[in-house]
Amino acid sequence: MKLCRYILFVLTLIVCSAAHSQSNYFVHTVTKGQTMYSISRMYGVTQDTIIKLNPGSEIMIRVGQSLRIPQKSNEFHTIMAGETLYRLSINYKVSIKDICDANPGLSADNFKAGQVIYIPQAKKQEAKEENSNLSQAFLAVAQTELAESSTVLKDTTRYKTVYTVKGKESLSKIARIYGVTQAELIAANNNLSNSSLRPGLKVNIPYSTSEKKIKKNSLSKAEQQLLAMDNDAFIDAGRKALAKDIPEIINVSLLLPFHLDTIANADERKKMVEFYQGILMALDTIKHDGISVKLSVYDTGVDTANIDHILQDPEFGQSNIIFGPKYPSHIEQVAQFAAENRIINVLPLTSETEIVYNNQWIYQLNTPSSFQLSKIYDRFLSIIGPEAQVIFLNNLKDTVDNEFCTNLKPLLERNQIPYLTMVIDTPVYRFTDTLLVDTLDYEHIINNVFVINSPENTPLVNFLPIMQIINRTKHPYARTMLFGYPNYQTYASDLLDQLHEANTYFYTWFYNNTSQDNTLDFYERFRRSFMRQPMVSFPSFAQYGYDMANWFIRGYKKFGQQLGLYSNQVEYKPLHIGIALERISPWGGMINNKVFFVHLDRRFGTSVIDFENDPQYKLKFNIDNMLQAEPADNNSDSNTEYGY
C-alpha cells in the first residue's frame, strides 16, 4: 500500500513538473527568412534563453522547425487545433475585440494551429452601454459580410459554428476538435451517424454545457450571435466595424533634421530638403485627384529635447500619418506616441528595426537586407536556372563570407547547384578552366555566376577587368554573369560599360530608371518647381519623398487606419522605390519586403525586373525548407543603409 502511494506521489510530481514546464514556454514555428536574432526580438527574450530550450539551434534553424520560446508572463499563445477566438477569449478572460486589436495581422488565413498570437492583459469591465453598442456594430457589419457571401446564419443562438467535413472523419474526432461530447454533436444534427458523414457535409457545432452556462450568465443576445460566428467572418467583418472614420482632410506630420541652424552638415541638409520637396510635389499631384491634405513640418534637429516639444504640440496629436523621424534616438518616443494615439508612423530614413518588432503602428520602409534574403534567394535561383555554377570571389584580405554568401551556400547545396570559392586575383586561365559549358544542342543551358564576397567598390573595380578578359577568351558556349548588391548602382557612372559587358544583375528596392517617361517627367516638374535638377543620390531623395507621400496618403484615404490589412490594394505604382509591406508578426509592425533585380545586359540595355508583376519570371524552385545558418555570436541585424 505504501509502495502504491509512493508511486502515485512520484507520478503526481512528474505530471505537475511537466505542466509547470510547459506553462513556462510556448512553441514557435520558424518561417522563411527568420533568424534566431529576429525571433528573439519578436518575443523580447535573449537568444541564449531560446538556445537553452532548443539545443542545436545555435548552429542553425530550419524553416518549419518548432522552437520552444520562454514565456515571460503568459503574453503569447500558440493556437491549438480546433481553437477559436471565442474559446481563447473565455480562457484568457479577454474580449475578442482586444485580441484582434492586439493582433492586427491576424486573419482567417493565419488563424490556424501552430500560429502564435499575442494575448493582451485583461481589461476592467467596460460600461454595459458601450459593450452593447460595440457588439451591435460588429454584428451588423458581420451579418452584412455573411449575406454578401451567401452565407446564412442559422440558429446562431444555438450553434457555435458550422463545420465542413473534410476527408474521412468521424463524429468523435469532430467532437474532440470543438470540445463537445459526441452525444451533443449528434443531437445538434438530427441524430447524425458516422455512416452519413461525407466530405463537404455541413455539420452544426453546438456549444458545450460549460459554454452555454457562460453565455447565459454574461453575454447579451447580440454578443451571443457575434461569438457564434466562425473566425473567418469575424476577423474580417469585425475589423471593418472598428475602422476609424477616414477624415475629409488627412493630417500629415513630417519630422526631419533640416540642420537649418548650422553651417555644418550641408550635404545632409540638402538631402532632407529634397526629400521634403518631393513630398510637396506629391501633395500637388494628390490635390488634383481631389484628396485634401494638411502638412505640418517639424525640424527635429539632433537633440531629443526637440522631440519632447513636438509631442506636446496639440496639432501634432491630430496627425493621421507621421513621416519620420530619422534618428534612432528620436524614434522610440515618437513610436510610443503613435501607438498610444493610433497614428500610422512611417520610418523612411533609417534601418533601425527594434521598434517594428512590437509596435503595430510602425511602417518600416528602409528594411535591412537580412529581412529580404529569402525573397532575394528565390529570385536569384529563378534567374540563374536549375543548371548553374556559382563562383564566389574573395579578396586575399577578406576570407570571411558576408551575410549574403553565408546563407546562399547551404541553399545551393539543397538545390544541388555546385559552387566553388576562388580569389579575385587568380590567373585568368584558371577561371576559364572552371567554367561549365552548354551542350551543343542547348538541352542543358548552364550559367556561370560570379558573386563577389563584398558589396564594396574596391573588389568590384579589381575584378571587372579580369572578367572582361574571361569573357573575351572563354569557350563560346560558356555563359557568364555577375551578380551583385544594391551598392552597384552607386558605382555605375564610372563602371557602366564594364558592368554591361559583365552581364550584371543586382538586387535592390530602389532604382532611378532615367529611360522611363514618368522619371523624365518628374525631373522636368522638379526643375520647373525649384529651378534646378535633383541632386545625385542613392536613393534619389526627391523621388523617394514623392513616392512615399503618394503611396501612403492615397492608401490612407481609401483604407484609413486599416491600411496595413489592405496594403496590397493601394492604387499607386511608385516610379523610384518598391513598396510591398508585410507584417512582421500578428502583433508587430509592417516592413517593406519589396525586392526587384536590375539587369545591365551586354547589348547595353537596362531592365528592372519586377517579379510579382512580370509573368516571364515565375519562381521555379520550392525552397520552403531552406536552411537559415546563423553563427552563435550573431547578436545584431544588418543595418546597412544606402545613401543615407
Instruction: Between 387 and 620, name the one with better pLDDT.
Output: 387
Per-residue confidence band for 132, with pLDDT thresholds at 50, 70 and 90: very low
**End-to-end Cα spacing for the chain:** 77
Q: Mean pLDDT, the chain, as a whole number?
A: 81
Q: Do 202 and 162 touch, CB atoms closer than 8 A?
A: yes
Per-residue confidence band for 188, with pLDDT thresholds at 50, 70 and 90: confident
pLDDT at 282: 98
Is residue 128 predicted with pLDDT exceeding 70?
no
Report pLDDT digits (tens) over 9-34.
Answer: 333 433 343 333 345 888 998 887 78
pLDDT at 244: 53
HSE at residue 100, side-chain half, CA atoms within 13 A, is: 24
- C-alpha dihedral (33, 35, 40, 43), degrees to nearest 10: 20
Q: Do 405 and 393 touch, CB atoms closer than 8 A?
A: no
pTM: 0.76
Q: Do 565 and 237 touch, CB atoms closer than 8 A?
A: no
- Which set of grid coordinates corresponds to residue 357? 518588432
CA 29, CA 68: separation in Å to the nearest integer? 9
pLDDT at 122: 74
For 438, phi then psi, to 5°, come to: -60, 155
- Which set of grid coordinates corresponds to residue 539? 536613393
Per-residue confidence band for 338, with pLDDT thresholds at 50, 70 and 90: very high
Per-residue confidence band for 642, with pLDDT thresholds at 50, 70 and 90: very low
Report pLDDT digits (tens) over 298-333.
Answer: 999 988 899 999 999 999 999 999 999 999 999 999
Is residue 391 predicted with pLDDT exceeding 70?
yes
pLDDT at 618: 44
Q: What percent of the chain has pLDDT over 70?
A: 78
Beta strands in 427-561 (DSSP E): 447-452, 479-484, 504-508
Per-residue confidence band for 398, with pLDDT thresholds at 50, 70 and 90: low
- C-alpha dihedral (417, 422, 428, 432), degrees to nearest 10: -20
Per-residue confidence band for 91, with pLDDT thresholds at 50, 70 and 90: confident
Is residue 123 predicted with pLDDT exceeding 80?
no
CA 458, CA 455: separation in Å to the nearest integer? 9
CA 250, CA 553: separation in Å to the nearest integer? 8
Q: Do 518 and 575 touch, CB atoms closer than 8 A?
A: yes
pLDDT at 296: 97
Which one-letter amino acid corresponds to residue 5?
A: R
Residue 393 is inside which H or E element, if any?
Answer: strand 388-394
Q: Do 623 and 62 touch, CB atoms closer than 8 A?
A: no
CA 345, CA 590: separation in Å to the nearest integer? 10
Q: Do 499 and 476 touch, CB atoms closer than 8 A?
A: no
- Which set of grid coordinates corresponds to residue 279? 513630398
Q: Do 495 and 464 touch, CB atoms closer than 8 A?
A: yes
- Based on its alpha-carbon atoms, the radius of gyration of the chain, rounded to whole angstroms, reads 29
Longest dimension (CA), the chain: 98
For residue 240, the tally of other CB atoms under 10 A from its CB is 15
Q: Do 370 and 392 touch, CB atoms closer than 8 A?
A: no
Instruction: Between 39 and 191, name the one with better pLDDT.
Output: 39
Per-residue confidence band for 633, with pLDDT thresholds at 50, 70 and 90: very low
Average pLDDT over every residue of 58-67:
84
DSSP 479: E
- Per the listing, cell 458581420 goes with 142
Q: Do 291 and 557 touch, CB atoms closer than 8 A?
A: yes
CA 73, CA 154: separation in Å to the nearest integer? 39
Instruction: Between 406 and 59, name the one with better pLDDT.
Output: 406
Burial of 233 (0-12, 13-18, 19+ CB in 10 A): buried
SS3 annotation, 289-322? CCCEEEEEEEECCCCHHHHHHHHCCCCHHHCCEE
pLDDT at 631: 34
- What's the sign of the alpha-carbon dihedral 301, 304, 307, 312? negative
pLDDT at 325: 96
Measured CA to CA in angstroms, residue 71 lies from 26, 45, 135, 434 at distances of: 6, 9, 32, 52
Measuring CA to CA, which residue among 294, 245, 266 is closest to residue 561?
A: 245
CA 599, CA 605: separation in Å to the nearest integer? 8
DSSP 502: T
CA 102, CA 235: separation in Å to the nearest integer? 12
Measuring CA to CA, which residue among 188, 109, 198, 201 is closest to residue 156?
A: 188
